[in-house]
Structure 1
């Protein structure tokens, strides 16, 4: 044992060196601790943001799920009572003929058509941007982004003005050609024409995101690939289908997933159009129907059940797309 002239014998400091009663630290254990610390560090940095998201998103979602199992209306809001009804709201919802003949077809068919047209239109615009020169590319990109920056409410009122039965551009033009009688034609009362206008609105608002995203993906394709295909005699469609699509398939998957989520929960573009706020039940989709049941009929339990059904439908579609995306990544 070492000694010190002033203080006497000194003791070994704990943790400094190994002794017979203190075995040497295991290197593998230290490595595992270091790995755990490195894995935990990003989550600690994200903890404040995740906490805020949990409060703002998870709690309202949980509240909606709880309300869907209750008979909750104005009386319950006033008295604070909780009247649990189990699965009665879901039973009533799933046995309602309006769900299967009107609301669900409106939601699914409308979303499917909008997603297909949005992705196709955005892809065509992206291919156009790829072929343009620098100046025209900047001009066209600016115009495209202006359409995307327009709020959904503003865009909806623009389309309402365009198809106004008396003073709209479409009705006025067709009246000048002698094809319709404006006073006898209302584009918003018929289910098909109503959703045709809503489709134009949604596609016009959504295709710029697809165009810019796909254009960014096109810039990552090596120039040698299409040039080699062109020398081999491949036409434009063959180059697109055999080279472009497989190369940037993850980009198409992402824009399709996001477009599907956005188009399934479209609300403003339907609700703000004439008849969309409840006077025409034939044009209800799940989002508008949930709002109508909750805030017009004050049946918050039934409205919450409809919202949960829409959420489950979106989650199912998203899981299918994500599994396809991960499978493609694993196959590469």
Structure 2
């Protein structure tokens, strides 16, 4: 009969003594220390952001998820009272995409209005930024303060100011054109026609949005080395060539940021449309996606359909933003 004389405890103790007797590898220790430091550096920002991310998850992600869930339901006053859910699958989306008003009125109003507003906002803000760059210190402070007042004005207040300006009977525009004999105020209402309605809304949105673009682009202009435009000027480049060949490529990330933010803001404009005469529902020809979603939800009490419209607007914004960013990165990689 054979016996195993190996003692596990003695074996472990012997391994520990052999490990203590080995000479440590400095290179391996440095490598392990670097890996620990890298993991700590990678984890530290997320630990610092964790409280803010948790708040955003509660305030943003849960409402977004709730809207998505409602878009798959026939959800109205009955469901609110009873607390029940009536899932209908994709019926809301089928009804929405099959509605002729979406394609003939609501979607064109949303897309065309947003594109025009973004273009005019970025162009106007850029021109104002170039003006600020050429002004002296005193006038620069005065102009910056004035344009920031337009940005600080609440959207509701600004909308009512523009309503007063274009009031058919007592507005400045109607009164001025009446004094020139060009219109009859009692026969002219700027808010009933689809095109004049959105022209006023465009003035309102651009007036409220261009200060942000102007200040942001002006801050980008200050980062351009002075030697670049001076060298181009000595080479005979005119103002347009200096702007297009030097300014735009140098601060292209700034233009990307202001364009994306303006696109998001202008596609989901609500107050500037809803508060104008006819915008709250009496004139369906001027609905955009935001106002249409509100009208379906809180006027017709069709919360599922309103949620589907909101999801469609969100998907449209994501598609435009992703396409724009991909185009910019592709252009950068080709340089």
Fold-level similarity (TM above 0.5): yes
Tell me if 1:43 matches 2:41.
Answer: no
TM-fit CA distance, 1:36: 1.3
Aligned partner of 1:239 among 242, 259, 265: 242
The alignment yields a C-alpha RMSD, in angstroms, of 1.6
**Quick one: which of 181, 198, 203 aligns to 1:178?**
181
- Partners in 1 of 2:243 and 2:57 — Cα distance? 42
Task: Provide Cα deviations, 1:263-284, integer angstroms capped at 9, x if missing partner.
Answer: 0000000000000000000000
Per-residue CA deviations over 1:38-92 (Å, capped at 9, x if unaligned) read: 2111111111110000000000000000000000000000001110000000000
Pair 1:126-2:129 in alignment: yes
Equivalent position of 1:322 in the other structure: 325
Q: Which residue is equivalent to 1:199?
A: 202
Question: How much does 1:29 deviate?
Answer: 3.9
1:19, distance to aligned residue in structure 2 (A): 3.7
Report how far residue 234 of structure 1 moved: 1.1
- The aligned residue for residue 313 of structure 1 is 316
**TM-score, length of structure 2 as denominator length:** 0.91
Asked if the contact 1:250/1:325 (under 8 Å) is kept, the reply is no
Residue 229 of structure 2 is matched in structure 1 by 226
Which of the numbers 279, 283, 291 marks the counterpart of 2:282? Answer: 279
CA deviation profile, 1:126-154 (whole Å, cap 9, x unmatched): 00001101110000000010000000000
2:299 corresponds to which of 268, 272, 296: 296
Q: Distance in 2 between matches of 1:187 and 1:105?
A: 20
Once residues 330 and 242 of structure 1 are traced to their aligned partners in structure 2, the CA distance between those partners, rounded to angstroms, is 18
Equivalent in 107, 111, 117 of residue 104 of structure 1:
107
More helix by share: 2
Q: What's 1:72 paired with?
A: 75
Provide the C-alpha distance between the structure 2 equivalents of 1:123 and 1:57, rounded to a whole number of angstroms: 32
SS state at 1:234 partner: coil
Deviations 1:5-50 (A, max 9, x none): xxxxxxxxxxxxx742678695334432331122111111111110
How far off its partner does 1:330 sit?
A: 4.7
Which position in structure 1 is the counterpart of 2:193?
A: 190
- Residues paired across the two proteins, number: 316
Q: Where does structure 1 lack aligned partners over 5 or more consecutive residues?
A: 1-17
The answer on 1:20 being equivalent to 2:18 is yes
Cα distance in 2 for residues equivalent to 1:41 and 1:238:
46
Counterparts of 1:217 and 1:185 in 2: how far apart (Å)? Answer: 44
Runs of 4+ in structure 1 deviating by more than 4 angstroms, as ranges, are: 21-26, 328-332
Deviations 1:110-130 (A, max 9, x none): 000000000000000000001
Instruction: Determine the structure 2 residue equivalent to 1:137.
Output: 140
| Aligned pair partner of 2:218 in 209, 215, 218 | 215
CA contact (8 A) 1:115 1:263 kept: yes
1:85 maps onto 2:88 in alignment? yes
Q: Distance in 1 between matches of 2:97 and 2:306?
A: 13
Alpha-carbon distance in structure 1 between the residues aligned to 2:200 and 2:129: 24
TM-superposed CA distance for 1:242, in Å, is 1.0
Alignment of 1:27-38 (within 5 A): 27=29, 28-38=31-41
